[in-house]
């Protein structure tokens, strides 16, 4: 039912929305109060729509979106049949992100990635398991592969590196002397989708 001057019911607070206050996610058919999307961006159904949209349009690392979903929905670390049954939409989006992450980190996209002194397997496994922090977009950085401008930058200035690979924090059993602290930065081109790495 539609009332004059209203565009629908807000899927966050379930109150009617005056037409001028209503927003959608992309071309989505659900309406929200603009203020509700700002105050409650992690509301159950809104966050599902928002994250699906970010996956669709964005240059954002799917690993970051997976981390975000884990926090919002408290997704168990191990596959949990009860959780999956209770939250089918959450799990379905989460699996989509996992597939997108694998495509995003396709080793072919790392051809000529720069930091060749480190093994690509170790770089990829670090990037799969940790959202590299400080995701920023730059419209001016130029891609070495296609020479066009515009890249997303992921960086963590303090990553621990040992013969076993990269990690964010040391465990109790780790011997500090086995590790070197590196500045881990990766750039993804918006156009050709290739990665460049700077690890030093
Ligand atoms: Zn609302
Ligand atoms: Zn490029």
* H or E element in which residue 151 lies: strand 149-162
- CA 90 / ligand 1 centre spacing (Å): 21
Q: What ligand is nearest to the CA atom of residue 111?
A: 2
Ligand that lies nearest to the alpha carbon of residue 13, given by its number in the listed order: 1
Q: Which ligand is nearest to the CA of 151?
A: 2
In tens, the pLDDT along 113-130 reads 999 999 999 999 999 887
Task: Pick the ligand that lies closest to the CA of residue 109.
Answer: 2
Instruction: Locate the domains of the chain by residue range.
Output: 6-104, 108-199
Q: Which residue pairs, CB below 8 angstroms and at least 24 apart, start in 20-25? A: 25/49, 25/50, 25/53
Ligand 1 centroid distance, CA of 80 (Å): 32
Tell me if residue 85 falls in helix, strand or coil.
Answer: helix
Distance 112 CA to ligand 2 centre (A): 12
Q: What global pTM score does this model have?
A: 0.79
65: three-class secondary structure by DSSP = helix
pLDDT tens, 59-104? 678 988 999 999 999 999 888 999 999 999 999 999 999 999 999 9
Ligand 2 mean position to 1 CA, how many Å? 49
CA-CA distances (angstroms) from residue 11 to 3, 4, 14? Answer: 17, 19, 5
Instruction: Tell me which residues have their CB within 5 A of the ion that is ligand 1.
Output: 10, 12-13, 33, 36
Dist. CA 32 → ligand 1 center (Å): 6
| Residue 181: partners with Cβ closer than 8 Å, 6 or more residues away | 158, 159, 160, 161
Ligand 2 centroid to Cα of residue 141, in Å, is 10
Residue 188, strand partner residues: 152, 195
Gap from CA of 119 to ligand 2 centroid (Å): 22
33 pLDDT band, cuts 50/70/90, is: very high
- pLDDT tens, position by position, 134-163: 678 899 999 999 999 999 999 999 999 999
């Amino acid at each position: 039912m539609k009332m004059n001057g209203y565009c629908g019911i807000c899927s966050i607070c379930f109150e009617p929305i005056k037409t001028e206050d209503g927003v959608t996610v992309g071309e989505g058919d659900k309406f929200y109060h603009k203020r509700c999307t700002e105050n409650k961006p992690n509301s159950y159904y809104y966050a599902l729509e928002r994250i699906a949209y970010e996956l669709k349009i964005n240059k954002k690392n799917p690993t970051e979106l997976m981390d975000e979903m884990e926090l919002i929905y408290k997704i168990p670390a191990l596959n949990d049949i009860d959780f999956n049954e209770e939250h089918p939409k959450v799990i379905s989006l989460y699996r989509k992100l996992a597939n997108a992450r694998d495509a995003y980190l396709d080793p072919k996209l790392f051809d000529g990635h720069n930091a060749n002194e480190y093994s690509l397997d170790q770089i990829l496994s670090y990037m799969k398991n940790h959202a590299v922090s400080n995701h920023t977009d730059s419209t001016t950085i130029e891609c070495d592969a296609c020479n066009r401008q515009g890249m997303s930058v992921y960086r963590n200035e303090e990553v621990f590196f040992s013969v076993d690979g990269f990690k964010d924090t040391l465990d109790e059993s780790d011997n500090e002397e086995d590790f070197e602290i590196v500045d881990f930065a990766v750039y993804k081109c918006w156009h050709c989708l290739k990665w460049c790495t700077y690890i030093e």
